Amino acid sequence: ISHIVQLAISQKKLLGYSNGTVVPYARSQSMMKDKNAECQRPCAGAVRGKSAVATWESMRGHLERLLRSAGTEGQPIPLSNVKRLFRVQFNLELSETALGYAKLSELLQDPRLSDLCKVTLQGYGYVLVPLARPSKRSLISLAEGLCLDDGRQLEAEAAAAAAAAQAAAAQQ
């Protein structure tokens, strides 16, 4: 029976939760979050105090800062801490419904964030894992990285050196 109830909650949206009890979906917090996400507005009571609500632009920038502060070794951030970290570090409310999602985990898996992080299950909870940033290479190192024969390698290096000299001259 518990499996059937779980399916009615998670997949069929026949049931939902309200104040910790199972209720018909139409009276559930899940339905309210879905409706708010459709209208892209924060849920009532989700915005605390006078904090502003994050927009896509501010959220992405602050998320980058959070992920960088997680350390160079790519330390994961528990999903349960992300909203609190936004509130404490940036005085900003991260509302998934204001950004069009009913669940924080879905928001953080949006394609617009796919170059920054990924959500994974670790142990008993979900975490936000920073992705390695691609290193920026100069034109010369790009030419060196190509496996060209000697003649083409020299041409590529000469073209890269000329482009670098042109860029330096333009800055002066």
In this predicted model, what pLDDT tens digit does every residue of 131-160 receive, in sequence order?
876 555 555 555 455 554 555 666 666 666
Token pair recorded at residue 105: 């985990």
Q: Is the pLDDT of residue 127 over 70?
A: yes
Is residue 53 over pLDDT 80? Answer: yes
Please tell me the predicted confidence (pLDDT) of residue 1.
Answer: 87
Evaluate if pTM is beyond 0.85: no
The confidence score (pLDDT) of residue 163 equals: 66
Q: Within this chain, do residues 30 and 55 fall inside the same structural domain, yes or no?
A: no
Quick one: 56 and 115 in the same domain? yes
pLDDT of residue 131: 86
Q: Residues 105, 119: contact at Cβ < 8 Å?
A: yes
> Is the same domain home to 87 and 116?
yes
Distance from C-alpha of 89 to C-alpha of 108, rounded to nearest angstrom: 18
Per the structure, the complete domain to which residue 96 belongs is given by: 50-133
In a domain, 172, yes or no: no
Average pLDDT score, the chain: 82
Q: Do 73 and 125 lie in a common domain?
A: yes
- Chain centroid to CA 28: 27
Higher pLDDT, 70 or 49: 70
Which pLDDT value is given to residue 136?
Answer: 56
